Structure 1
Amino acid sequence: MRIGELSERTGTPRRLLRYYEEQGLIAARRSPNGYREYDERFVDRVTQIRGLLDAGLPTRIIKQILPCLDKPRTIYFPDATPEMIATLRHERDRMTDRIRCLTRNRDAIGEYLDAVLDYDRTEAGTRGGTEDRSGTEDRSGTEDRSRGDADGSAPGARRP
Protein backbone atom coordinates (compact mmCIF):
# COMPACT_ATOMS: atom_id res chain seq x y z
CA MET A 1 0.00 0.00 0.00
CA ARG A 2 1.13 3.53 -0.62
CA ILE A 3 1.69 6.15 2.07
CA GLY A 4 -1.70 7.79 1.53
CA GLU A 5 -3.55 4.55 2.25
CA LEU A 6 -1.41 3.82 5.32
CA SER A 7 -2.09 7.36 6.50
CA GLU A 8 -5.82 6.95 6.00
CA ARG A 9 -6.02 3.51 7.61
CA THR A 10 -4.05 4.52 10.71
CA GLY A 11 -5.21 8.13 11.06
CA THR A 12 -1.57 9.18 10.97
CA PRO A 13 -0.45 12.15 8.87
CA ARG A 14 1.91 11.33 6.00
CA ARG A 15 4.50 13.60 7.49
CA LEU A 16 4.57 11.51 10.69
CA LEU A 17 4.85 8.31 8.67
CA ARG A 18 7.89 9.75 6.90
CA TYR A 19 9.30 10.68 10.32
CA TYR A 20 8.75 7.12 11.60
CA GLU A 21 10.61 5.90 8.55
CA GLU A 22 13.51 8.31 9.20
CA GLN A 23 13.67 7.02 12.79
CA GLY A 24 13.81 3.41 11.60
CA LEU A 25 10.43 2.50 13.11
CA ILE A 26 8.90 1.48 9.80
CA ALA A 27 10.42 0.74 6.41
CA ALA A 28 9.05 1.15 2.93
CA ARG A 29 10.07 -0.40 -0.32
CA ARG A 30 10.40 1.97 -3.21
CA SER A 31 8.51 1.23 -6.38
CA PRO A 32 10.20 1.91 -9.74
CA ASN A 33 8.53 5.32 -9.86
CA GLY A 34 9.89 6.18 -6.37
CA TYR A 35 6.64 5.82 -4.42
CA ARG A 36 6.82 4.34 -0.95
CA GLU A 37 5.17 0.92 -0.66
CA TYR A 38 4.28 -0.44 2.78
CA ASP A 39 3.41 -3.98 3.83
CA GLU A 40 0.02 -4.65 5.41
CA ARG A 41 1.73 -5.35 8.75
CA PHE A 42 2.61 -1.68 9.08
CA VAL A 43 -1.00 -0.81 9.85
CA ASP A 44 -0.63 -2.57 13.22
CA ARG A 45 2.95 -1.34 13.62
CA VAL A 46 1.96 2.32 13.20
CA THR A 47 -0.88 1.83 15.68
CA GLN A 48 1.60 0.38 18.18
CA ILE A 49 4.03 3.22 17.61
CA ARG A 50 1.31 5.83 18.15
CA GLY A 51 0.20 4.12 21.35
CA LEU A 52 3.75 4.00 22.68
CA LEU A 53 4.34 7.65 21.76
CA ASP A 54 1.06 8.61 23.43
CA ALA A 55 2.26 6.76 26.52
CA GLY A 56 5.31 9.00 26.53
CA LEU A 57 8.00 6.67 25.21
CA PRO A 58 10.64 8.35 23.06
CA THR A 59 11.29 6.98 19.58
CA ARG A 60 14.77 5.75 20.56
CA ILE A 61 13.23 3.35 23.10
CA ILE A 62 10.36 2.42 20.78
CA LYS A 63 12.90 1.44 18.13
CA GLN A 64 14.59 -0.89 20.59
CA ILE A 65 11.44 -2.60 21.84
CA LEU A 66 9.45 -2.89 18.58
CA PRO A 67 11.09 -6.21 17.66
CA CYS A 68 9.74 -7.60 20.94
CA LEU A 69 6.21 -6.50 20.05
CA ASP A 70 5.99 -8.07 16.61
CA LYS A 71 3.59 -10.93 15.99
CA PRO A 72 3.92 -13.72 16.78
CA ARG A 73 4.58 -12.63 20.33
CA THR A 74 7.97 -14.28 20.48
CA ILE A 75 10.23 -12.18 22.63
CA TYR A 76 13.68 -11.93 21.18
CA PHE A 77 15.96 -9.41 22.78
CA PRO A 78 19.55 -10.65 22.48
CA ASP A 79 21.23 -7.39 23.44
CA ALA A 80 19.20 -6.40 26.50
CA THR A 81 21.56 -4.52 28.76
CA PRO A 82 20.90 -3.88 32.44
CA GLU A 83 20.43 -0.22 31.52
CA MET A 84 17.80 -1.09 28.90
CA ILE A 85 15.95 -3.33 31.36
CA ALA A 86 16.02 -0.56 33.97
CA THR A 87 14.75 1.94 31.38
CA LEU A 88 11.93 -0.38 30.35
CA ARG A 89 10.94 -0.97 33.97
CA HIS A 90 10.95 2.77 34.61
CA GLU A 91 8.81 3.41 31.50
CA ARG A 92 6.41 0.59 32.45
CA ASP A 93 6.00 2.04 35.95
CA ARG A 94 5.52 5.52 34.53
CA MET A 95 2.82 4.20 32.18
CA THR A 96 1.12 2.44 35.08
CA ASP A 97 1.06 5.70 37.05
CA ARG A 98 -0.29 7.54 34.04
CA ILE A 99 -2.99 4.90 33.53
CA ARG A 100 -4.04 5.32 37.17
CA CYS A 101 -4.21 9.08 36.75
CA LEU A 102 -6.13 8.84 33.48
CA THR A 103 -8.52 6.31 34.99
CA ARG A 104 -9.12 8.57 37.99
CA ASN A 105 -9.74 11.56 35.72
CA ARG A 106 -12.02 9.55 33.41
CA ASP A 107 -14.04 8.33 36.40
CA ALA A 108 -14.32 11.86 37.82
CA ILE A 109 -15.54 13.19 34.47
CA GLY A 110 -17.99 10.29 34.25
CA GLU A 111 -19.36 11.06 37.72
CA TYR A 112 -19.69 14.73 36.79
CA LEU A 113 -21.52 13.86 33.57
CA ASP A 114 -23.83 11.49 35.44
CA ALA A 115 -24.65 14.23 37.96
CA VAL A 116 -25.23 16.81 35.21
CA LEU A 117 -27.39 14.44 33.18
CA ASP A 118 -29.40 13.43 36.26
CA TYR A 119 -29.90 17.13 37.04
CA ASP A 120 -30.89 17.83 33.44
CA ARG A 121 -33.41 14.99 33.46
CA THR A 122 -34.88 16.25 36.73
CA GLU A 123 -35.02 19.78 35.39
CA ALA A 124 -36.53 18.67 32.09
CA GLY A 125 -39.51 17.32 34.00
CA THR A 126 -40.17 20.73 35.52
CA ARG A 127 -39.63 22.79 32.34
CA GLY A 128 -42.08 23.65 29.66
CA GLY A 129 -43.61 26.81 31.07
CA THR A 130 -42.98 25.95 34.70
CA GLU A 131 -40.67 27.17 37.40
CA ASP A 132 -37.65 25.08 38.18
CA ARG A 133 -37.13 23.66 41.64
CA SER A 134 -34.95 26.54 42.73
CA GLY A 135 -37.98 28.83 42.52
CA THR A 136 -36.64 30.89 39.64
CA GLU A 137 -38.68 31.44 36.58
CA ASP A 138 -37.70 29.47 33.50
CA ARG A 139 -36.91 30.99 30.11
CA SER A 140 -40.49 30.88 28.88
CA GLY A 141 -41.42 33.66 31.29
CA THR A 142 -44.56 31.93 32.52
CA GLU A 143 -45.25 31.18 36.12
CA ASP A 144 -46.03 27.76 37.48
CA ARG A 145 -49.65 27.68 38.48
CA SER A 146 -49.62 23.95 39.12
CA ARG A 147 -48.11 24.51 42.56
CA GLY A 148 -49.40 26.89 45.14
CA ASP A 149 -52.43 29.11 45.02
CA ALA A 150 -54.41 30.18 41.96
CA ASP A 151 -52.37 33.34 41.59
CA GLY A 152 -49.14 31.35 41.25
CA SER A 153 -47.83 32.11 44.71
CA ALA A 154 -46.36 29.38 46.84
CA PRO A 155 -48.64 27.70 49.36
CA GLY A 156 -48.89 29.80 52.48
CA ALA A 157 -47.18 32.79 50.86
CA ARG A 158 -48.36 36.26 51.91
CA ARG A 159 -50.26 38.17 49.35
CA PRO A 160 -49.97 41.92 48.95
Structure 2
Amino acid sequence: MKLEDTRKEQIYTEVEGQILAVLDGEENRIAQMATISCLLSQAFPETYFWTGFYIVDPLKEDELIVGPYQGTLGCLRIAFGRGVCGLAAQEKETQIVDDVHAHPNHIACDSRSQSEIVVPVLDQKGKLLAVFDVDSTDLGSFNNVDQVALERLMKQIFT
Protein backbone atom coordinates (compact mmCIF):
# COMPACT_ATOMS: atom_id res chain seq x y z
CA MET A 1 0.00 0.00 0.00
CA LYS A 2 1.51 3.30 -1.08
CA LEU A 3 1.37 6.21 1.31
CA GLU A 4 0.87 9.79 0.22
CA ASP A 5 4.05 11.86 0.44
CA THR A 6 2.68 14.22 3.10
CA ARG A 7 1.72 11.26 5.31
CA LYS A 8 5.15 9.68 4.76
CA GLU A 9 6.88 12.92 5.76
CA GLN A 10 4.76 13.09 8.91
CA ILE A 11 5.58 9.50 9.88
CA TYR A 12 9.30 10.02 9.22
CA THR A 13 9.31 13.14 11.39
CA GLU A 14 7.59 11.31 14.24
CA VAL A 15 9.77 8.19 14.11
CA GLU A 16 12.95 10.25 13.71
CA GLY A 17 12.13 11.98 17.00
CA GLN A 18 11.51 8.62 18.67
CA ILE A 19 14.76 7.14 17.34
CA LEU A 20 16.82 10.14 18.41
CA ALA A 21 15.25 10.07 21.89
CA VAL A 22 15.84 6.34 22.39
CA LEU A 23 19.42 6.53 21.09
CA ASP A 24 20.37 9.64 23.07
CA GLY A 25 23.76 8.80 24.58
CA GLU A 26 23.98 5.34 22.97
CA GLU A 27 27.24 4.90 21.09
CA ASN A 28 27.13 1.20 20.21
CA ARG A 29 26.52 0.86 16.47
CA ILE A 30 24.78 -2.51 16.71
CA ALA A 31 22.33 -1.14 19.28
CA GLN A 32 21.78 1.93 17.09
CA MET A 33 21.15 -0.18 13.99
CA ALA A 34 18.82 -2.58 15.79
CA THR A 35 16.77 0.33 17.17
CA ILE A 36 16.56 2.09 13.80
CA SER A 37 15.48 -1.11 12.03
CA CYS A 38 12.86 -1.89 14.66
CA LEU A 39 11.27 1.55 14.93
CA LEU A 40 11.20 2.24 11.19
CA SER A 41 9.73 -1.20 10.49
CA GLN A 42 7.01 -0.58 13.07
CA ALA A 43 6.33 2.93 11.75
CA PHE A 44 5.68 1.65 8.21
CA PRO A 45 4.10 -1.80 8.64
CA GLU A 46 2.24 -1.66 5.32
CA THR A 47 5.31 -0.59 3.31
CA TYR A 48 8.46 -1.92 4.98
CA PHE A 49 8.69 -5.67 4.29
CA TRP A 50 12.42 -6.05 5.09
CA THR A 51 14.26 -3.37 7.02
CA GLY A 52 17.87 -3.50 8.07
CA PHE A 53 21.57 -3.00 7.73
CA TYR A 54 24.36 -4.69 5.84
CA ILE A 55 27.63 -3.82 7.57
CA VAL A 56 31.04 -3.55 5.92
CA ASP A 57 32.88 -6.69 6.98
CA PRO A 58 36.03 -5.60 8.87
CA LEU A 59 37.84 -8.69 7.55
CA LYS A 60 36.75 -8.22 3.92
CA GLU A 61 36.37 -4.50 3.29
CA ASP A 62 34.81 -5.02 -0.15
CA GLU A 63 31.98 -7.13 1.25
CA LEU A 64 28.84 -6.48 3.28
CA ILE A 65 27.59 -8.84 5.98
CA VAL A 66 24.04 -8.88 7.28
CA GLY A 67 23.51 -6.81 10.41
CA PRO A 68 20.48 -6.00 12.56
CA TYR A 69 17.22 -6.27 10.65
CA GLN A 70 13.47 -6.88 10.80
CA GLY A 71 11.84 -9.26 8.34
CA THR A 72 12.44 -12.53 6.56
CA LEU A 73 15.84 -14.12 6.11
CA GLY A 74 18.28 -11.73 4.45
CA CYS A 75 21.29 -12.46 2.29
CA LEU A 76 24.25 -13.20 4.55
CA ARG A 77 26.99 -11.60 2.42
CA ILE A 78 26.96 -9.21 -0.52
CA ALA A 79 30.04 -8.17 -2.48
CA PHE A 80 30.46 -4.50 -3.33
CA GLY A 81 28.95 -3.86 -6.75
CA ARG A 82 26.63 -6.90 -6.55
CA GLY A 83 22.92 -6.30 -6.13
CA VAL A 84 21.32 -3.02 -5.14
CA CYS A 85 23.02 -3.05 -1.72
CA GLY A 86 26.43 -3.75 -3.22
CA LEU A 87 25.91 -0.98 -5.76
CA ALA A 88 24.99 1.51 -3.03
CA ALA A 89 28.10 0.46 -1.09
CA GLN A 90 30.37 0.76 -4.11
CA GLU A 91 29.02 4.13 -5.26
CA LYS A 92 28.21 5.53 -1.79
CA GLU A 93 24.93 6.78 -3.26
CA THR A 94 21.33 6.01 -2.40
CA GLN A 95 19.67 3.58 -4.77
CA ILE A 96 15.90 3.53 -5.40
CA VAL A 97 14.51 0.67 -7.46
CA ASP A 98 10.81 0.75 -8.38
CA ASP A 99 10.75 -2.83 -9.69
CA VAL A 100 13.51 -5.08 -8.39
CA HIS A 101 12.62 -7.87 -10.81
CA ALA A 102 13.40 -5.56 -13.75
CA HIS A 103 16.73 -4.47 -12.23
CA PRO A 104 19.58 -6.41 -13.89
CA ASN A 105 21.74 -6.37 -10.77
CA HIS A 106 19.11 -7.36 -8.17
CA ILE A 107 19.76 -10.26 -5.77
CA ALA A 108 16.52 -12.05 -4.92
CA CYS A 109 16.75 -12.84 -1.22
CA ASP A 110 12.93 -13.05 -1.04
CA SER A 111 10.82 -13.17 -4.21
CA ARG A 112 8.04 -11.19 -2.49
CA SER A 113 10.16 -8.03 -2.56
CA GLN A 114 9.02 -5.73 -5.35
CA SER A 115 10.78 -2.40 -4.71
CA GLU A 116 13.75 -1.25 -2.67
CA ILE A 117 15.68 1.70 -1.30
CA VAL A 118 19.28 1.40 -0.10
CA VAL A 119 21.01 4.27 1.73
CA PRO A 120 24.77 4.29 2.39
CA VAL A 121 25.76 4.84 6.02
CA LEU A 122 28.93 6.91 6.34
CA ASP A 123 30.98 7.99 9.34
CA GLN A 124 32.12 11.56 9.99
CA LYS A 125 35.11 11.07 7.66
CA GLY A 126 32.99 9.74 4.78
CA LYS A 127 34.04 6.12 5.27
CA LEU A 128 31.33 3.57 4.49
CA LEU A 129 30.14 1.76 7.63
CA ALA A 130 27.09 -0.01 6.23
CA VAL A 131 24.09 0.33 3.99
CA PHE A 132 20.50 0.63 5.20
CA ASP A 133 18.16 -1.46 3.07
CA VAL A 134 14.37 -1.43 2.90
CA ASP A 135 12.30 -3.72 0.69
CA SER A 136 8.58 -3.47 -0.02
CA THR A 137 6.12 -6.01 -1.40
CA ASP A 138 4.62 -3.24 -3.57
CA LEU A 139 6.08 -1.76 -6.74
CA GLY A 140 7.31 1.84 -6.59
CA SER A 141 7.06 2.23 -2.83
CA PHE A 142 10.04 4.56 -2.41
CA ASN A 143 10.80 8.03 -3.70
CA ASN A 144 12.64 11.25 -2.85
CA VAL A 145 10.65 11.65 0.39
CA ASP A 146 12.07 8.36 1.68
CA GLN A 147 15.55 9.21 0.41
CA VAL A 148 15.69 12.62 2.09
CA ALA A 149 14.32 11.32 5.40
CA LEU A 150 16.52 8.23 5.57
CA GLU A 151 19.69 10.03 4.50
CA ARG A 152 19.03 12.71 7.13
CA LEU A 153 18.47 10.09 9.84
CA MET A 154 21.65 8.15 8.95
CA LYS A 155 23.70 11.36 9.04
CA GLN A 156 22.29 12.34 12.43
CA ILE A 157 23.09 8.99 14.00
CA PHE A 158 26.35 7.95 12.39
CA THR A 159 28.28 11.17 11.62
TM-score category (smaller protein): under 0.3
The answer to which structure has the higher helix fraction is 1
- Structure 2 length as normaliser, TM-score? 0.23
The answer to which structure has the higher strand fraction is 2
- Structure 1 length as normaliser, TM-score? 0.23
Larger RCO (CA within 8 A; separation ≥ 6) = 2
Q: Which has the larger radius of gyration?
A: 1
